[in-house]
A and B are shown apart, each in its own frame.
Chain A
């Protein structure tokens, strides 16, 4: 029976001709857009994740503590929530670093009458401490210490980037959604056309006492087949584009985003796209089925 129903659905698909092809193409576009933005968002998300791991806060101290006080201060800061590690940087080390940075111009530093650089603590936050709320709490905690002159660094720029990433995701979802609705309507039109063409079949089926689900199932299967074909086509296009473009874009991406390579969607992501496509098509078939209800 299943073979018969699938056979009928494929027969109907051939009948729908160009409209069915348009529906498949629209589903491909919708899922291609969705998948493309998903791919972009995934890679941007990876970049944000890596940057979060590299976040460092610098606590500038009012005066340089003694070795014993510095050790006690480091221990105290390490005990704050959201702190992964702490390193004390004395005034002399700071000046040494400046000399390294200046390179051949390091002699400028020698002209200074006294070392103007403050001692500091380099604080690396935990993952929780690198979130906007975690970083805010941590900065407030560090600023409240009596030894603190100023707290430098932060995660705002990462958050701005992360907001951009979420915006890309939302835009992708929106575009995919709009194209998805268009795809559903086209599948509905294709199925409705077929429905007119197979009105005689449906009448005969009802007349001989076929169960109602057998009468209607081919329409649903037809819609699902269109969705499945559109989704598979979208996955194939995404894979091909990634295969073609990723090696060319990776050097640029490595420099700008710090990502060694551009990853593709996971098998679970791809399966989700295929399921979404099949459901979109099925929904189109169901809507046409609704119109066909006697």
Chain B
């Protein structure tokens, strides 16, 4: 029986006394210190803190790009410290990740960028077109399907990255500073899309250093500072 079968959601993710320490030569630098919290299915959680607070490290731990130095992390019931490569891959298929810099593939159109992830996961060809356009419609980019990333505004690029993340219909959406590079108008557009995704039943975790944004969202907010969880409110 897999761990996912033992611990069913609503516990979407659970962190228990998590530490992440980097070694810089002989010096140990803690990026996260004794962080514990739980996110249940369908929640919208904002992870707030200044630059260098450990937000990105925490997110990377959640999709197992990093492993914790100490403590336990379970995402969708999978113990990430003990997970094997195949289990991690299976977990990632249920998680959509959006980065501050969008990370679109420059040689491919918006359509191809979204279709690419569906193709590598073996989605049947006949389903791909429908799902790509469904995702592009959701982010308001249907008309820009044939544009290359260099032809997009930053807001459009971020929405394209969101389309790529949601085309796979993830159970969990993780966004790392999705509005960090955007002006107010564009940031609002992107947040509207994220809200829509959440309203559709996807659990959302958004990391931001913008206090105003965290307030605007008016959702549960976890505040990180110097790698420690200071507040869990809302």
Chain A residues near B (Cβ < 8 Å): 1, 4, 200-201, 203-212, 214-215
Contacts and interface: CB of A to CB of B under 8 A. Distances in A.
Nearest to B65: A207
Interface string B72-107: 000000000000011011111111010000010110
B44 interface: no
A208 B121 contact: yes
Contact of B116 (A203, A204, A215): A204
B128 to A, nearest CB: 10
Contacts of B168: 208
A22 B68 CA distance: 45
B220 to A, nearest CB: 25
Contacts of A215: 120
B122 A204 contact: no
Contact of B91 (A4, A204, A209, A210): A209
A215 B88 CA distance: 14
B63 interface: yes
Given A201-B105, A207-B65, A208-B120, 12 more contacts: A1-B119, A4-B120, A200-B103, A203-B103, A204-B116, A207-B97, A208-B121, A209-B88, A209-B90, A209-B92, A209-B121, A212-B85
The main secondary structure of chain A at its interface with chain B is helix
B92 A201 contact: no
A288 B91 CA distance: 28
Nearest to A214: B120
B117 interface: yes
Contacts of B119: 1, 4
Interface of B: 63, 65, 85-86, 88-95, 97, 103, 105-106, 116-117, 119-122, 168
B89 A204 contact: no
Q: What 10 A-B pairs come out closest when comparing CB atoms?
A: A209-B92, A209-B93, A210-B120, A209-B89, A208-B117, A4-B119, A205-B120, A1-B122, A214-B120, A200-B105
17 contacts: A1-B122, A4-B120, A200-B105, A201-B105, A203-B103, A204-B103, A204-B116, A204-B117, A207-B63, A207-B65, A207-B97, A208-B120, A208-B168, A209-B90, A209-B94, A212-B85, A214-B120
A210 B94 CA distance: 11
Contacts of A207: 63, 65, 92, 97
A206 B95 CA distance: 12
A112 B203 CA distance: 119
A201 B116 contact: yes
A205 B95 CA distance: 13
A201 B106 CA distance: 10
Contacts of A205: 117, 120
A203 B119 CA distance: 15
Contacts of A212: 85, 89
A210 B105 contact: no
B215 to A, nearest CB: 30
A212 B87 CA distance: 12
B67 to A, nearest CB: 13
A204 B167 CA distance: 14
A1 B119 CA distance: 7
A205 B116 CA distance: 9
Most chain B beta-carbon contacts within 10 A, residue among A200, A206, A207, A209: A209
A208 B170 CA distance: 10
A4 B117 CA distance: 11
A208 B169 CA distance: 12
